[in-house]
A and B are shown apart, each in its own frame.
Chain A
């Protein structure tokens, strides 16, 4: 047993972080917020880089990697708040022509919600009666469809969404810590105050716990373990964003700070791909 990343996995993570830093930096994020539309050029570049074809066999033009590697890649996507129906398109690679290379945008119905319906080329699931809602997340347009709240996604969809949540939780932790080390009040940096310090420590604990769960679930593929990982990752992303906002004080409440974008996306991801109630029931059923 060696739970640590292999050399190849570390290199992959490094590579993806560099790629996303280039393709979708903070300026691109804020630009997308001001004008929310799906960037086809970006989508193609993600396709070229193998984001969607990551787990397709090499003989089918894929990268031939597994779920653990996909989890690392989606963690990085969550960290920079990469927009678009990433999970649906990734899962459609190989099944829907054009999904693998990023020439086609695929979305799906999940929990009676459809993200990016107007921008997608292919929609999986029944969208009759779809009504646009005023999405809480400026970077995830949403439609509601009448239904019974059933899930269409496989465990893999829940796990990749959980990985994005872990990336987001790490990002808000990093942001909170760097703010706490820079911001001074009462003649010292606020990160020296235990009241602030303990918030940050709690954020780290949540992140590490959720990451261990997500990584392990990507190795075992066990459905109950995936449900548990989604539960903890949702918790880490949402609560870390809340604490990050708190550490930022008044600035955290502004549109200009990025923390609200993390919180809102975390809320969306928590509602999709196995929300808490279903995840808790799934884990309980395994007892």
Chain B
């Protein structure tokens, strides 16, 4: 039970802090959230700065503890998020690093680290959501290419992405988990149509992607043909691991802001609301500690985070929704004004119990993989 940082980690933290203090004031203004090309340029510019300063591969090469320090400090300093680089840095990148050939790593990883190329994710389909393995987008081998036809949905950053990590069915006869293949699809290939989807928050955060006989070179396959499900599980376990560290730090900061606002507008005098904020603060403090526990475990077992990430996500996603409900209680009638801060975030937070595995699926994972309860319905 050692929560202290080593001298090396403290030195890393100090260096990073200094760099952030020097760099953040020079960043351009944040782009309009509806302007996707501008968002891409902003996010890639930030990634380039990280690259030039030697921090670009923090998500991959650094020790889990160092990654924790990085996410903690960047969030504390109010640095930009990974944004458009999310899939490249936290999904496709780690998957290619773990499962790709040397040539594939060389082709795809450096541009992600430099902020030159953006990836999107083509996993979910209209009829394959929680039951992802039932996906039906077909890929038929034709010489040195796969010809891909089908439809993907919930694809973030599709409008501005260069590459798509795509799951396709290569063997429709095999059991559903055994006929899937992982491909890197260039988004400028003929036959791809992107139709943005508007979220309940009013913005277009993701898209439908229609694929009509798109040719993807066989050389773009990561892992073996029909082994894509296993390859995918590597990616998903990354997402359920340390991907939310920055958000926990952000929530703890938000709680501080909420308390300040509540003290100013008088709602702090309501003991029910005050106690509600106290309980939420205890929960986010504990979530931070749980993150440290998961990171320690990942560090000791050498990398891929386990089902502990599901335990974390289950509580975190609900707690974060409750946090914005509490924010609305602090704001009172102003909670109905989308021009006020937190209110759009409140709408966005409604996706947290659904995205990256619904809470119901997470409970199945926890019950089956950790508690050893039988699979069943």
A interface residues with partner B (beta carbon < 8 Å): 1-6, 9, 68, 177, 180-181, 188-189, 191-194, 197-198, 200-202, 204-205, 208-210, 212-213, 215-216, 218-220, 225, 227-229, 231-232, 277, 279-287
Contact = CB atoms under 8 A, between A and B. Distances in A.
B109 to A, nearest CB: 28
B105 interface: no
B301 to A, nearest CB: 10
B1 A282 contact: no
Nearest to A4: B296
Given A1-B4, A220-B3, A198 B376 contact: no
Contacts of B258: 287
A205 B309 CA distance: 11
Contacts of B199: none
B245 to A, nearest CB: 13
B278 A281 contact: yes
Given A209-B315, A281-B275, A287 B259 contact: yes
Contact of B5 (A1, A6, A220, A286): A1
B198 interface: no
B259 A181 contact: no
B292 A208 contact: no
7 contacts: A3-B2, A177-B373, A197-B368, A197-B376, A205-B314, A216-B292, A285-B278
A12 to B, nearest CB: 12
A173 to B, nearest CB: 8
A212 B278 contact: no
B181 interface: no
* Shortest 3 CB-CB contacts between residues of A and residues of B: A192-B376, A228-B282, A284-B278
Nearest to B319: A209
Contacts of A213: 282, 285-286, 289
A5 B281 contact: no
Contacts of A227: 282
A177 B314 CA distance: 19
* Most chain A beta-carbon neighbours within 10 Å: one of B289, B362, B372: B289
Interface of B: 1-6, 9, 65, 68, 255-256, 258-259, 271, 274-279, 281-283, 285-287, 289-290, 292-293, 295-297, 299-300, 308, 311, 314-315, 360, 362-364, 366-368, 370-377
A208 B285 contact: no
A1 B1 CA distance: 8
Contacts of B311: 204-205, 208-209
A154 B339 CA distance: 46
A287 B371 contact: no
A202 B376 contact: no
Given A281-B271, A287-B255, 14 more contacts: A1-B2, A1-B65, A1-B296, A4-B300, A181-B372, A191-B373, A192-B376, A192-B377, A194-B364, A198-B364, A213-B286, A225-B285, A229-B282, A281-B274
Nearest to B286: A213
Contact of A284 (B2, B281, B295, B296): B281
Contacts of B9: 1
Given A181-B373, A193-B376, A194-B360, A1 B286 contact: no
A112 B371 CA distance: 40
A197 B367 contact: yes
Contacts of A2: 2, 296, 299-300
B360 A177 contact: no
Nearest to A196: B373
A162 to B, nearest CB: 11
A180 B71 CA distance: 40
B259 A284 contact: yes
B303 to A, nearest CB: 16
A1 B3 contact: yes
A212 B293 contact: yes
Given A283-B281, A284-B274, A208 B290 contact: yes
Contacts of A197: 363-364, 367-368, 373, 376
* Most chain B beta-carbon neighbours within 10 Å: one of A1, A210, A280: A1
B255 A177 contact: no
Contacts of A204: 311, 366-367, 370-371
B286 A218 contact: no
A219 B3 contact: yes
B296 A201 contact: no
B292 A219 contact: no
B283 A205 contact: no
